[in-house]
Amino acid sequence: MSQSLELLLIQFLMPDNDARRQAEDQIKRLAKDPQVVPALIHHLRTAKTPNVRQLAAVLLRKKITGHWAKLSPQLRQLVKQSLIESITLEHRGEVTKDVISVIREYQTVTVIGLLCKITYKVKFRDFIPGILHAARQCLASGDEDVAVIAFEIFDELIESPAPLLGDSVKSIVQFSLEVCSNQNLDVSTRHQAIQIISWLAQYKYTSLKKYKLVMPVLQVICPMLAESSDRGDNEDLAPDRAAAKVIDTMALNLPKQVFQPVLEFASISCQNVDPKFREAAVTVLGVISEGCLELMRNDLKPVLQIVLGSLRDPEEMVRGAASFALGQFAEHLQPEIISHYEIVLPCILNALEDASNEVKEKSYYALAAFCENMGEEILSFIDPLMGKLLSALQNSPRNLQETCMSAIGSVASAAEQAFLPYAERVLELMKKLHGIVAMSVGRARMEPILPPYIEAAIAGFALEYSELREYTHGFFSNVAEILDDGFAKYLPHVVPLAFSSCNLDDGSAVDIDESDGDENANGFGGVSSDDEAHDEPRARNISVRTGVLDEKAAATQAVGLFALHTRTFYSPYLEETMQILVRHSIYFHEDVRLQAIIALKNVLIAAQAIFQSHADGSTKAKEFLDTVLNIYLKTMTEDDDKEVVAQACMGIADIVKDTGYTAIEAYMPQLVDATLVLLTEKSVCQQIESDSDIDDDDTAHDEVLMDAVSDLLPAFAKSMGPYFAPILAKLFSPLMKFAKASRPPQDRTMVIATLAKVAQNMGPPIAGYVDAVMPLALKELVSSDATNWRNAAFCVGEFCRNGGEVALKFYGDILRGLHPLFGESEPDDAVRDNAAGAVARMIMVHPEAIPLNQVLPVFLKALPIKEDHEESSAVYSCVCNLVLSSHPQVILPPKHVPTNYAIFFCLLEDSSTNLLLGL
- Cα–Cα distance measured from residue 331 to residue 334, given in angstroms and rounded to the nearest whole number: 7
Q: What is the Cα 822 distance to its own chain's centre?
A: 36
DSSP, collapsed to helix, strand or coil, labels residue 434 as coil
Determine the Cα–Cα distance for residues 44 and 60; give it in Å rounded to an integer. 9
Residue type, 811: Y
pTM: 0.61
**Cβ(781)–Cβ(745) below 8 Å:** no
% residues pLDDT > 90 (the chain):
39
pLDDT of 209 higher than 80: yes
CB atoms within 10 A of CB 687: 11
ω before 572 within 30° of 0 (cis)?
no
Cβ atoms 44, 56 nearer than 8 A: yes
Least confident of 193-202, 279-288, 504-513: 504-513
Q: Place 910 in a pLDDT band, splitting at 50, 70 and 90.
A: very low
State pLDDT tens for residues 759-801. 999 999 999 999 999 999 999 998 877 888 899 999 999 999 9
H/E element, 875: helix 872-884
Mean per-residue pLDDT, 844-863 = 90
Q: Is the predicted pLDDT of residue 94 greater than 90, yes or no? A: no
C-alpha gyration radius of the chain: 32
CA–CA dist 476, 580 (Å, integer):
19
CA distances from 616 to 48, 217, 892 (A): 49, 64, 64
Give the max Cα distance, the chain: 113
DSSP 153: H
Rounded Cα–Cα distance for residues 23 and 46 (Å): 21
- Average pLDDT on 180-209 reads 88
Average pLDDT over every residue of 361-366: 84
Query: Using an 8 Å Cβ cutoff, are 794 and 829 in contact?
Result: no
Q: How many CA atoms lie within 13 A of 729 on its CB side?
A: 8
Higher pLDDT, 234 or 270: 270
Average confidence (pLDDT) over 125-152: 77
For residue 560, name the pLDDT band (cuts at 50, 70, 90). very high
DSSP state for residue 865 in the 8-state scheme: P
Residue 121 confidence class, pLDDT cut points 50, 70, 90: very low
Express each pLDDT in 443-459 by its tens digit: 777 788 788 888 888 88
Reduced to 3 states (helix: H, G, I; strand: E, B; else coil), residue 627 is helix
581-620: b (≥16 Cβ within 10 Å) or e? beebbebebbbbbbbbbbbbbbbbbbbbbbbeeeeeeeeb
Residue 448, class by beta-carbon neighbours within 10 Å (0-12 exposed, 13-18 middle, 19+ buried)? exposed
Distance CA 861, CA 261 (A): 45
Per-residue confidence (pLDDT) for residue 401, from 0 to 100: 72
| Residue bearing the bigger pLDDT, 317 or 128 | 317
Using pLDDT thresholds of 50, 70 and 90, give the confidence band for residue 713. very high
- 610 versus 131: the higher-pLDDT residue is 610
CA–CA separation, 597 and 591 (whole Å): 10
Give residue-wise pLDDT tens across range 640-689: 899 999 999 999 999 999 998 988 999 999 999 999 999 999 998 887 54
Across 280-413, the runs of DSSP E, i.e. the strands, are none
